[in-house]
Structure formats: C-alpha cells, structure tokens
C-alpha cells in the first residue's frame, strides 16, 4: 500500500511486495471495465447509505482497471457493511465479494509481532535483548552483528538488515513461484547484501528479513514452530476460520479471489494466485479473509491479545520511509499508524504479495474496523492515493460527532533501541 515515487525494477517490486506495495507497473490495456459495486449492510438506522465509501471503491477500481476490489467495515454503533466491485476470477467472471479468502502478505507481520510481545509479557524473552541471545551466530559477517541488534529493532525494522528480496535472485520472481525456501537460507542471502540505503537521519528500513528472524526466535523460545505457536495463541482462540498457513501448497483452498500481476517483460495480465509462500514465512505467508482481519485487529487494539504495557510498546513508533509507506505513516512493532483526514489515526497493517493480492486491516477512532482487499496491485501513484481514500472513507464516513476528533493514541516518541 505504499506510495511509490518512481517506477522500480522487478527486483525492487518483489522487495516492496511485503512492504505494502509492489512497483508501479502499467495496467493491461485490455483490462475490462469494473462492474458496478455490490453492497451488503447490517447497519443500524441513521448510519447512512455509505455513498462516499462506494464511490471511493468505484473510483479506485475503475480508475486503475483493477479486476476486483472489496471493503468490509464493522462499527460498534453502526454495525457491519461491505462493498465489492469487479470480478474475483477473470476466467469465470465470478463476482468479487468481501467474503473471499486471499493472501494477506505483510499483515502476517502483525501476527508474528504479537506473539513475540506475548512471550515478552510472560517474561520468556526480552525485546531489548540482542538477537544473539536467542539465535547465536545467526546474524554475523559482512558487517552485520546479532550481538548489536535487539529483538525490538527486528520488529520495528530499525535493525539495519537488508531485505533478502532485494537480491538478484528476485529479478524474475515468476521463476521462483513454486520453490520451497527455508528462513535461515533467506536470512543468509540477505546478509550477503550491502547495507540498505536509508533516508538521512532515519533508522527505518523495511525488510522481511527481520520477521523471518523474529519467527525463529519464537521457535527457539517455545520449542514449537512459529506458525504453530501463532495458530495456538491467535488464530485458534479468535476463531479465525479463514486464516491459515499454506505451507508448501501453492493453491488457495476454499472460497477465494484470484490475484493478478503484470510482469514487466510481458505487459499483459497474468494470474498469480498459485504461489509457494514459504519465501514469505512469518513475514508474509498467511491466508486470511476481510472478516478475519477485522476480528484480529479489533482484538489486538481492543486489548484482548496483549497486556497494556506490551500494546503500548507495540504502538511506540518511528517515522517510516515515505517511499516504502507514504507521507505521515509511522511504524511501531508490527503496527502502522496513519493520520485520517477526519482527525485521529488508524492503526493496522497491510500487505501485498508478488502474485497481486493486497490486503489491509485497520482500526480507527471509536473502534471502527476496516478491511480492504484488491486482486491486483495499483499501478500508479494516483491509484495508490485512491486506495488510501477508500480507507479514509470507510473510517471517516458517518462518524458520530462524539467520536469525530477523539484524543489521539498515536504515540510518536519511538526510538530505535
């Protein structure tokens, strides 16, 4: 979901895939016009018709020729409503809905960070401790030293580690889409890269490498795989029935939308739904649905998954690189905050995968929750802005007056220690 300033190479596109956006690539000239949006609502009387949200979704999908887009919103007062436009499967013409599963990409990082902080609350690990305490020798060589990088820095992308997705192997991601990857091998590849370029004065550099290491720390501390521990602690207790780890299975199971991408060399739209997501692991492999993403972020920001001290730590932010996210965005420990045009901020995360799916889950002032899903990554800066307009419309539309300008919980005193 990042605002990409300039077109990037294919390798950079994949590196950005787990940020929130992939590279700006041209939309297919033969893209069909998006069908009219379909709406569903269980809202209380007096909560409006959500015309601004419908229009924002329609503008995004039609303006960038996206195959399909959907949004789902739940409000403590106004109930639940959703909109969808376009098709979930271009081969069959099946309409897009807000109920389909999809690849959640970097939303996975919030699940991983939550379990790390649960373990911290249980005094089983220390976020300020060096990575080497838990994974001796994992990060060493080429100027990288796990004795000088804290667990907290991994979660906040202030470790200084490069992203393995920046390696030349990923110049042609379609050639790797059915391969199995091990996290330690991917981290080793990252450590062979030079230090990342970062804006002057910034400690932030988004790298999925950080979250593969965080997953290995969970495994070391608990004696179980990070995937099974995240399932045991979050997915199971919250009854996230559409959320799962795909493992080596490249296929999406159950009702799902397809995803599409435009390889630079072809210029034509390709179905990218099938993909072995072991290369994303605890940084980007989860499959989920809009309803599950809402439920997860609602539980997290509502204090059901972390004690107050750990949730506060999670919301301690640093300025994010606007080329990786967008102006005004800040990054906590697996959480993004972003200002709303109607006042306050939303907290959540988003993700994109190389095959084309994009997902965002967020909670706004007053507890309103939103999930936005796309079947293809927006291809222009204007479309990226339109995507953010959908989020703003969902969280600002018909907000009751007593919640119009709440006291912000946006913590900005973050540091990189």
Two structure tokens written together for 181: 């990857």
Which residues are catalytic, by number?
106
Q: Rounded to whole angstroms, what are the CA distances from 54 to 25, 195, 289?
A: 25, 43, 20
In terms of DSSP bridges, do strands 144-145 and 140-141 run parallel, antiparallel, or are they unpaired? Answer: antiparallel
Tokens matching residue 147: 């004795």
Kindly state the tokens that stand for 131.
């990575």
């Amino acid at each position: 979901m990042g605002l990409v300033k300039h077109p990037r190479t294919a390798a950079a596109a994949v590196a950005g895939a787990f940020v929130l956006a992939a590279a700006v690539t041209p939309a297919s000239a033969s893209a069909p016009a998006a069908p009219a949006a379909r709406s569903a609502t269980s809202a209380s009387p007096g909560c409006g018709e959500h015309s601004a949200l419908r229009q924002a979704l329609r503008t995004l999908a039609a303006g960038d020729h996206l195959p399909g887009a959907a949004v789902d919103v739940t409000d403590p007062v106004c109930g639940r409503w959703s909109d969808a436009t376009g098709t979930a499967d271009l081969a069959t013409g099946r309409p897009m809905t807000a109920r389909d599963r999809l690849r959640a990409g970097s939303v996975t990082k919030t699940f991983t960070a939550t379990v790390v902080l649960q373990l911290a609350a249980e005094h089983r690990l220390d976020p300020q401790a060096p990575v080497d305490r838990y994974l001796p020798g994992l990060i060493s060589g080429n100027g990288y030293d796990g004795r000088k990088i804290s667990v907290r820095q991994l979660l906040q992308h202030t470790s200084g580690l490069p992203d393995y997705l920046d390696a030349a192997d990923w110049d042609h991601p379609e050639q790797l889409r059915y391969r199995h990857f091990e996290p330690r091998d991917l981290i080793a590849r990252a450590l062979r890269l030079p230090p990342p370029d970062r804006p002057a004065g910034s400690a932030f550099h988004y790298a999925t490498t950080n979250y593969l290491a965080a997953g290995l720390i969970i495994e070391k501390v608990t004696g179980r795989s990070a995937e099974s521990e995240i399932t045991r602690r979050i997915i199971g207790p919250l009854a996230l029935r559409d959320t799962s780890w795909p493992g080596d299975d490249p296929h999406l199971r159950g009702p799902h939308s397809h995803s599409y991408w435009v390889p630079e060399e072809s210029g034509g739209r390709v179905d990218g739904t099938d993909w072995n997501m072991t290369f994303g692991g605890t940084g980007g492999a989860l499959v989920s649905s809009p309803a599950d993403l809402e439920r997860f972020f609602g539980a997290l920001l509502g204090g059901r998954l972390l004690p107050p001290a750990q949730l506060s730590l999670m919301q301690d932010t640093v300025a994010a690189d606007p080329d990786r996210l967008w102006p005004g965005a800040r990054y906590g420990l697996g959480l993004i905050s972003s200002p709303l045009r109607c006042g306050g901020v939303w907290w959540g995360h988003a993700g994109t995968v190389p095959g084309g799916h994009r997902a965002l889950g967020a909670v706004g002032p007053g507890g309103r929750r939103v999930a936005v899903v796309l079947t293809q990554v927006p291809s222009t800066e204007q479309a990226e802005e339109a995507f953010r307009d959908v989020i703003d419309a969902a969280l600002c539309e018909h907000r009751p007056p007593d919640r119009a300008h709440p006291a912000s919980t946006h913590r900005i005193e973050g540091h990189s220690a």
